[in-house]
Amino acid sequence: MNILLLHRNPYYGKGLRDTLTECFEDLVVEHYPFAKTFDYDSYNVILADAESLRLICRSLESVLYDSIKIILLKSSHNKDIENYISPSAYDSYIKNDASPEEIYREIRAVMSIKSTKMLRQRRRHDRLSAREYQIALCLLENYRNKDIALAMGLNEKTVSTYKARLFKKFKIKSLLELHRAMVEARLL
């Protein structure tokens, strides 16, 4: 599994890269202190600090990357920067000071869940918010509300609210009608 590690602290980044590659033979980890232009398609997972993730989101405007999983490395020092990153831009998060085993488990968990990230600007004519779009796609993949809530870090009741909002926006009553409505709206 190919992992791109973007972290501004070169000592932390190199140390984590070395530890992950030594402990887990199935991981190939590349570390770069700054987000620059990459061939993102060659990576399965991107581990990024908040600042690097903001740069990724800027450089990938209008792109929906579903095949690449993004894990935010949260820090106690970057709370302000993390507040400006939409939760829909990454699949999961983990604390910077997590052990290599915890990070590995998180990578495995994220790889096992189908999720959708919106790394695009919302346009005026879009009928759905990024989160509504994510939930609609998960519903169309036959995920239960409970699974969607777990994958997106939401409450199950919140997912139900989004589902009801989707049905109301499209004036529909079933998932089959949701699929038709999204195709008609050119959202699929």
pLDDT digits (tens, 9 = 90+) for 67-85: 778 888 888 776 656 666 7
Query: Whole-angstrom Cα distance, residue 14 to residue 147?
Result: 34
50 and 141 fall within a common domain: no
179 and 136 fall within a common domain: yes
Residue 124 has pLDDT above 50, yes or no: no
pLDDT in tens, 133-142: 888 888 988 8
pLDDT in tens, 166-186: 999 899 999 999 999 888 877
103 and 64 fall within a common domain: yes
Total domains, the chain: 2
Q: What is the pLDDT of residue 174?
A: 94
Q: What is the pLDDT of residue 79?
A: 62
If pLDDT is split at 50, 70 and 90, which confidence band does 66 have? Answer: low
Torsion angle of alpha carbons 117, 121, 125, 128, nearest 10°?
30
**22 domain-assigned:** yes
**159 domain-assigned:** yes
Contact assessment for residue 95 and residue 47, using Cβ atoms and an 8 Å cutoff: no
103 and 139 fall within a common domain: no
Q: What is the pLDDT of residue 35?
A: 67
**125 domain-assigned:** no
Q: Name the token pair of 162.
A: 């989004």
Which residues sit opposite 115 in a β-bridge? none
Query: Whole-angstrom Cα distance, residue 95 to residue 108?
Result: 16
146 and 176 fall within a common domain: yes
- Please report, for the domain that includes residue 100, its CATH number: 3.40.50.2300
90 and 138 fall within a common domain: no
The pTM of the whole model exceeds 0.85:
no
Q: What is the pLDDT of residue 118?
A: 52
Residue 148 has pLDDT above 80, yes or no: yes
52 and 100 fall within a common domain: yes
Q: What separation in angstroms does the CA of 25 have from each of 68, 96, 102, 176, 182?
A: 20, 22, 16, 43, 42
8 and 97 fall within a common domain: yes
**117 domain-assigned:** no
**124 domain-assigned:** no
Contact assessment for residue 56 and residue 46, using Cβ atoms and an 8 Å cutoff: yes
Q: What is the pLDDT of residue 65?
A: 55
Residues 6+ apart with CB under 8 A from 68: 40, 41, 43, 44, 45, 46
**122 domain-assigned:** no
**% of the chain with per-residue pLDDT over 70:** 79
Residues 6+ apart with CB under 8 A from 114: 66, 138, 141, 143
23 and 74 fall within a common domain: yes
**121 domain-assigned:** no
The three-class DSSP label of residue 90 is coil
- Please report, for the domain that includes residue 162, its CATH number: 1.10.10.10
Residue 19 has pLDDT above 90, yes or no: yes
Q: For residue 20, give its domain range.
A: 2-112
Segment 13-20 shows an average pLDDT of 93
Query: Whole-angstrom Cα distance, residue 100 to residue 93?
Result: 14
